Structure 1
Amino acid sequence: MPAAAPPAPRFRRRRTQTLVAVVVSLAVAVALGAWSLHGRVAGGGALEQGDVAASGTPICAGRPARAPRELRGMWITTVNNIDWPSRPGLPAEKVRAEFRSWLDLAVRRNHNAVFVHVRPSGDALWPSRYAPWSQWLTGSRDGRDPGWDPMEFMVAEAHARNLEFHAWFNPYRGGQPATVGGPGPRLDQLAPTHPLRRHPDWVVTYPSADRPGSRLYFNPGVPEARKFVEDSMLEAVQRYDVDGVHFDDFFYPYPEAGQDFPDGAAFARYGRGFADKADWRRDNVNTLVREMSERIKAIKPWVKFGISPFGIWRNKRTDPAGSATAGLQSYDDIYADTRLWVREQWLDYVVPQLYWHIGFGKADYAKLLPWWAATVRGTRVQLYIGQADYRVGERGAWRDPAELDRQLALNQRHGVNGSVHFSAKQVRADKLGAVSRYSEAHYVGPALVPTMAQLPAAPPAAPEVTDVRRADGGVVLTWRGKGAASFAVYRVDAEVARLIGSARGGGWVDRAAPAGRSLSYCVSGLDRSGNEGRLSTPVSVAA
């Protein structure tokens, strides 16, 4: 047993006593503060709502509140019934049930947006003054009314799950083969109300690459046809609460060997002094994009406008400003000057379809990605990437279930704002477990959509949480909030308050709430453009 230590010198004893007194005082202050905090929360009084750390990070119950900002979506394709409806002519309730299941899949995968094909081929999935009902819904080209409004239903169901709804249009397609091996439609086979039957001078027929027969197109070179196509799409913007207007890469058709797009008569009449037909065609598409951008914002300034182009603008061997690729060039082959649309900032977002693997010789994902990141740099246009989930399981690199995982990791390194996956059926199929793999690595929790500085901003006031309690399904929170389009829910987890969910209404259930400890929550409101207001006063629930 060691000898007793000698007594501390007097100055050490005084210092020890002083330190003890300070510690006791601090403990009392903290306890009183905690009691005061509890009393004010329980009594409904206001704290300094939405406290913000010096770094600008909002604070919830003394912890920094963090929410990832990333667009995560999938395309839901209606043409040829690729995704939905599963086949044409189904009963309405079956069609609705299938659509709900796609949205539930999006929620399970922690997506926050869906891109739904609502004008696949000169038709419409809503009662339109400009276009007949889609055959992919009704099972018939005669334009018969299905007796309900799918667009109204789809937008409401998406918003009920706090998913953005981007209405996806093919502007110039007017009719196409309906079945494998079937011929392309003739004008007299279109619905009696189809605009191309009333305006045969707008029609161009061109072979179909993916199916036997030909497709019918609205001629992009005819100004009246372009205006009609714009009006038909803007009808949906005016009538429905869509969050975005979305095009893919179908403007002029992809070229077929030995076949020129037969628009010589339109060029002769509407050439506007262009000496080169290719430049004229590009200008036709540029005009559509610019006018749609202007007209959407004039109707609803908060609606986003985005395009998902073919992944190559031009090859570097053709143009020094192009990418280190050797594939089809959208600028030259389909007359889509995608780089111009970004530089002119006619778009809010661009989603290049980078459907090639890392290391592919003609179009290397790892080389195209930084080219697109550089293209949007310095603009307000956000970059999302179109991911090729449909290629998983193909020969070569796509046999590796980690390919998409690696691509999403590259996206993060290059500051990409999000991804859209093609298509819903492939997300559900989860071939080789690839979807589960990248979801666990990159979509482990929910995310808020990125904000856009060019959209209207009105961050709402802090909500008031009116109740928090444990129930069989988890922890139930309810709140009141004014001026918010949606709400974000945070739960304190160790040293951070993490985003755990979002909702459009006044309540949410934390079904993953741990049972063995007390929990603290905060709620914030977001405006229509995703701008977040101050956090609510924190609330707690016992273990």
Structure 2
Amino acid sequence: MRAGVPHDPTDPRPAAHPRPTADPGPPVVSGPSAASRPTRRLFGAAVVGALAAVGPLGGAAAAQGRASAAAGAAPGTGAVAAGAVPAPSAPAGGASHRAAPQVRGMWIATVTNRDWPSARGLGARQQQEELTALLDTAVRRRLNTVVLQVRPTADALWPSPFEPWSEYLTGTQGRDPGWDPLGFAVEQAHARGLELHAWFNPYRVALHTDPARLTADHPARRNPDWVVPYGGKLYYNPGNPRVRAFVQDAMTDAVARYEVDGVHWDDYFYPYPVAGQVFDDDAEYERYGGDFADRASWRRHNTDLLVREMAERVRAVRPRARFGVSPFGVWRNRATDPEGSDTRAGVQTYDDLYADTRRWVREEWIDYIVPQVYWNIGFAAADYAKLVPWWARQVEGTGVRLYVGEAVYKVGDPKQPAAWQDPDELSRHLDLCREHPQVRGNVWFSAKEMVADPLGAVSRVVADHYGRRVRPPR
């Protein structure tokens, strides 16, 4: 494994979204052999129901929401009561730049209590009020989709028979919070005319390396050979077929139980590289990797299998749900592969995370892709204005929808380049997306910033581009 590149210290997601560097990246590594290539499957995009034709919050509720956002209030402050549905009002300011359906999404991260709940151990009522406040924010911002993280670290935000309750609810892994967060979220999102996509992390087990800190009956403790410590964290080993089957079982349980509109993964497959450390999968490679030219090809094959098999499971248990992935924004640099993007990122998903994201689009194993294009227009190593057209070309002629992941969390951060101190930067992103009809929407990271509205940048996006609510693509 090649030496890693430092992760962006300003990024709130744990060990995610490394900063691009001038490193040209590793040499080209061959893909799986022709004999191992899975059969092509075509999946159409479907959507559950149609969004209600409601506008932003009106009257006192709207004023309260704007005041909380201006003050940077934490989620839950001045929350609308659980179960309340925002009243419709006339759209304020601006006109929607695209009448056609598009995704306007918002991630709600639960890992480390980033967006919700605001702290561990809150009572059920307060957790519900905070969650409904975030859903109401989505309505105020004229969004139509929320992506809720329900399996952050081999745990669950629903009563799972496979894995323990998440510690981010009660403060203690395995402790029943006394309510069903995922079931409540689906119900409340649909009541507001929002789609709810369930966001899972397949392989991350813990943000530490001590198995004794997991519940006594945790699958990672009962099957220690499934687990690899790496970079200060514990991961399930993607090279173990039993692991791959188990994590699919755990995720499929939620898909079967709840009327989710989508199944969503982020950018964690094999972990981001850490300098000086080796991900120890020697035993699995010796046992299962004999048909591959090298370890990298075998690892990519393991990830391909996870994606293809999970897509088939989603189609079997909930045919109208869509399956999507939000990878790191660079597949490969052009210096590594002439088919790659004109970037100089220090991390490439194909080579470093063993995730051939472009293949998943071409094979149409996924219904949508949300590359995390978390850089500003003109950023030398990974220019937003170059990556969006590159991704548009990848989905052209396929049935896969392209939505662009947006880094609202960078706005106003003094550690970020000057472009992020400009409240118009994000609105310019959507101007550029409009020039590429393959772009069918944008998803915002993440909910806390959508509430806070740093520099008023979110309000500008809404005024310039979200003049009225629209449905997601069918």
Indicate yes or no: 2:434 matched with 1:412.
yes
CA contact (8 A) 2:308 2:365 kept: yes
- Structure-1 residue corresponding to 2:106: 74
CA contact (8 A) 1:171 1:250 kept: yes
Indicate yes or no: 2:450 matched with 1:427.
yes
Q: Shift in Å at residue 192 of structure 1?
A: 1.5
Aligned with residue 222 of structure 2, among 195, 198, 202: 198
Which residue identity does 1:151 align to in structure 2?
Answer: L
- Structure-2 residue corresponding to 1:301: 319
Aligned mates of 1:369, 1:95 — CA distance in 2: 37
Aligned with residue 463 of structure 2, among 440, 458, 462: 440
Higher strand share: 1
Which residue identity does 1:130 align to in structure 2?
Answer: F
Indicate yes or no: 2:283 matched with 1:265.
yes
Aligned with residue 323 of structure 1, among 341, 346, 362: 341
Deviating more after overlay: 258-267 vs 197-206: 258-267
Aligned with residue 109 of structure 1, among 133, 141, 146: 141
Q: Secondary structure at the match of 1:154?
A: helix
- Structure-1 residue corresponding to 2:166: 134
How does 1:269-348 map onto structure 2 within 5 Å? 269-327=287-345, 328-348=347-367
- Structure-2 residue corresponding to 1:38: none
Aligned mates of 1:124, 1:270 — CA distance in 2: 30
Q: Shift in Å at residue 147 of structure 1?
A: 1.8
Q: Secondary structure at the match of 1:106?
A: helix
Q: What whole-Å deviation, never above 9, does each CA across 1:233-255 have from its counterpart, x for those lacking one?
A: 00001111100000000011100
Aligned mates of 2:411, 2:181 — CA distance in 1: 31
Q: Shift in Å at residue 270 of structure 1?
A: 1.9
Which residue identity does 1:188 align to in structure 2?
Answer: A
Q: Shift in Å at residue 144 of structure 1?
A: 1.3
Equivalenced residues, count: 372
Aligned mates of 2:442, 2:99 — CA distance in 1: 17
- Structure-1 residue corresponding to 2:24: none
- Structure-1 residue corresponding to 2:15: none
- Structure-2 residue corresponding to 1:507: none
Aligned mates of 1:330, 1:378 — CA distance in 2: 23
Aligned with residue 374 of structure 1, among 385, 393, 403: 393
Indicate yes or no: 2:424 matched with 1:402.
yes
Aligned mates of 1:308, 1:443 — CA distance in 2: 22
How does 1:352-501 map onto structure 2 within 5 Å? 352-394=371-413, 395-415=417-437, 416-451=439-474
Which residue identity does 2:298 align to in structure 1?
Answer: W
- Structure-1 residue corresponding to 2:245: 227
Aligned mates of 2:178, 2:124 — CA distance in 1: 9
Query: Percent identity among equivalent residues?
Result: 58
Indicate yes or no: 2:149 matched with 1:149.
no
Aligned mates of 2:461, 2:354 — CA distance in 1: 34
Aligned mates of 1:336, 1:275 — CA distance in 2: 17
TM-score, structure 1 length as denominator? Answer: 0.68
TM-score, structure 2 length as denominator? Answer: 0.78
Q: After TM superposition, where is structure 1 displaced by more than 6 Å over at least 4 residues in a row? A: none
Indicate yes or no: 2:185 matched with 1:161.
no
Q: Shift in Å at residue 266 of structure 1?
A: 1.2
CA contact (8 A) 1:249 1:308 kept: yes
- Structure-2 residue corresponding to 1:187: 211
Q: Shift in Å at residue 67 of structure 1?
A: 4.7
Aligned mates of 1:242, 1:223 — CA distance in 2: 27
Q: Shift in Å at residue 159 of structure 1?
A: 0.5
How does 1:29-44 map onto structure 2 within 5 Å? none
Indicate yes or no: 2:368 matched with 1:349.
yes
CA contact (8 A) 2:155 2:163 kept: yes
Which residue identity does 1:157 align to in structure 2?
Answer: Q
Which residue identity does 1:285 align to in structure 2?
Answer: T
Aligned mates of 1:430, 1:445 — CA distance in 2: 19
CA contact (8 A) 1:313 1:322 kept: yes
Aligned mates of 2:430, 2:133 — CA distance in 1: 25
Q: Shift in Å at residue 447 of structure 1?
A: 0.5
Aligned mates of 2:368, 2:100 — CA distance in 1: 18
- Which structure 1 segments of 5+ residues have no match? 1-65, 177-183, 208-213, 452-543
CA contact (8 A) 1:67 1:448 kept: no
Q: Shift in Å at residue 275 of structure 1?
A: 3.1
The structure with the larger Rg is 1
Which residue identity does 1:205 align to in structure 2?
Answer: P
- Structure-2 residue corresponding to 1:173: 204
Which residue identity does 2:121 align to in structure 1?
Answer: G
Q: Secondary structure at the match of 2:233?
A: strand
Q: Secondary structure at the match of 2:420?
A: helix
Q: Secondary structure at the match of 1:417?
A: strand
Q: What whole-Å deviation, never above 9, does each CA across 1:318-377 have from its counterpart, x for those lacking one?
A: 111000000021100111100000000001100000000001111000001100000000
Which residue identity does 1:333 align to in structure 2?
Answer: D
Aligned mates of 2:471, 2:176 — CA distance in 1: 37
Aligned mates of 1:410, 1:329 — CA distance in 2: 24
Aligned mates of 1:82, 1:350 — CA distance in 2: 23
Indicate yes or no: 2:272 matched with 1:254.
yes
- Structure-1 residue corresponding to 2:87: none
Aligned mates of 1:270, 1:126 — CA distance in 2: 34
C-alpha RMSD of the superposition: 1.0
Q: Shift in Å at residue 68 of structure 1?
A: 3.3
Structure with greater contact order relative to length (CA < 8 Å, sep ≥ 6):
2
- Structure-1 residue corresponding to 2:258: 240
Q: What whole-Å deviation, never above 9, does each CA across 1:133-155 have from its counterpart, x for those lacking one?
A: 000111113x1111211111110
CA contact (8 A) 2:209 2:229 kept: no
Aligned mates of 1:352, 1:193 — CA distance in 2: 36
Q: Shift in Å at residue 410 of structure 1?
A: 0.6
CA contact (8 A) 1:349 1:383 kept: yes
Q: Secondary structure at the match of 1:274?
A: coil
